[in-house]
């Protein structure tokens, strides 16, 4: 007897966000125009996208020293100003693919500094976006979770900005602690609109479906966070980077499958996963 068809519920707006789409378009256009361009680190955190760009003439370099006379692309999630300065000093032609929403975070943190506030960045320590934000001001404190906030002393005046892909849960938990320690606290919620929508939809599909598939690279902080959001509401969740990692057993007694994907997961990878699940069903 055939098993009933599995219902597939795809999270609205999942996959490439506007900022990543824009960065990839800029990279491809630049490679087309200049033949070959250097990309400082991965422009997005997705191995498939990076190898597609490589084959089109966009080559990853790990440090400014490795770039000779090619135009250089700045990635979607921003670059620390000292790195940008180094590139300028070398006289390299810079193509800026930084997402406009990340630039808004740079302006927000500078605004907090102008107000003489201690600048607090909620984000992952060591992440390029967070380094890019902290580089915009003289000093800042980076808090990855409530445990970091607990260690802070009492303060008179501080301000908060947030890495674009952080979750509201983490922001709320940290702010709750800061409110007990800071007299005058200003919060600029810089979680970007596509990340907010992704998290909201991840929560919805987690509640409404039997099994959830999160598609994206394990090196993408944003994909891992979506996985955590889903896991909170539905323990039957799997993170896959492509359809090859899907296992038929996951869908044996399942009526509905929810699907979401990180901001740097291409549409064709999402399409392949849906296709394969339909085949199983
Ligand atoms: S996740 Fe948000 S901030 Fe980051 S590139 Fe996409 S739109 Fe821009």
pLDDT tens-digit series, residues 250-279: 998 899 999 999 988 999 999 999 999 999
H or E segment and range at residue 25: helix 18-34
Q: 18-99 has which fold?
A: Rossmann fold (3.40.50)
Q: How is the chain split into domains, by residue range?
A: 7-15+194-280, 18-99, 101-191
Asked whether the domain spanning 101-191 has the same topology as the one spanning 7-15+194-280, the reply is yes
pTM equals: 0.88
Distance in Å, CA 84 to ligand 1 centroid: 20
Top-level class of domain 101-191: alpha beta
> For 7-15+194-280, CATH number?
3.40.1010.20
- Return the sign of the alpha-carbon dihedral for residues 244, 124, 201, 3: positive
> Is-catalytic flag, 65?
no
Looking from the CA of residue 20, the nearest atom of ligand 1 is: 5
Q: Is 263 in the pocket of ligand 1 (CB under 6 A)?
A: yes
Please classify residue 253 by burial: count the beta carbons closer than 10 Å to its beta carbon, then call 0-12 exposed, 13-18 middle and 19+ buried: exposed
71 close to ligand 1 (CB < 6 Angstrom): no
- Spell out the residues 6+ positions from residue 168 whose beta carbon is closer than 8 angstroms to its own: 191, 196, 199
- pLDDT digits 0-9 by tens, 127-178: 889 999 999 999 999 999 999 999 999 999 999 999 999 999 999 999 999 9
């Amino acid at each position: 007897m055939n098993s009933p068809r599995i219902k597939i519920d795809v999270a609205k707006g999942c996959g490439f966000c506007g900022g990543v789409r824009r960065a990839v378009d800029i990279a491809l256009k630049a490679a087309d125009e200049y033949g070959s361009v250097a990309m400082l680190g991965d422009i997005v955190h997705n191995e498939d996208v990076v190898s597609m760009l490589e084959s089109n003439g966009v080559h990853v370099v790990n440090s400014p020293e490795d770039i000779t006379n090619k135009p250089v692309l700045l990635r979607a999630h921003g670059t620390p100003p000292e790195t940008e300065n180094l590139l300028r000093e070398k006289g390299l032609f810079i193509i800026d693919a930084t997402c406009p929403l990340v630039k808004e975070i740079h302006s927000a943190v500078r605004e907090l500094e102008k107000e003489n506030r201690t600048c607090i960045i909620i984000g992952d320590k060591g992440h390029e976006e967070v380094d890019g934000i902290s580089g915009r001001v003289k000093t800042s404190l980076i808090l990855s979770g409530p445990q970091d906030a607990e260690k802070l002393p009492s303060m008179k005046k501080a301000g908060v900005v947030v890495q674009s892909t952080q979750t509201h849960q983490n922001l709320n938990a940290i702010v709750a602690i800061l409110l007990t320690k800071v007299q005058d606290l200003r919060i600029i919620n810089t979680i970007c609109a596509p990340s907010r929508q992704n998290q909201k939809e991840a929560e919805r599909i987690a509640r409404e479906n039997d099994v959830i598939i999160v598609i994206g690279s394990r090196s993408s902080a944003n994909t891992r966070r979506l996985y955590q959001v889903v896991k909170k509401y539905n323990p039957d969740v799997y993170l896959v980077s492509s359809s090859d990692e899907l296992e038929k057993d996951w869908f044996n007694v399942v009526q509905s499958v929810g699907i979401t994907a990180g901001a740097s997961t291409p549409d064709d990878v999402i399409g392949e996963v849906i296709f394969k699940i339909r085949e199983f069903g």
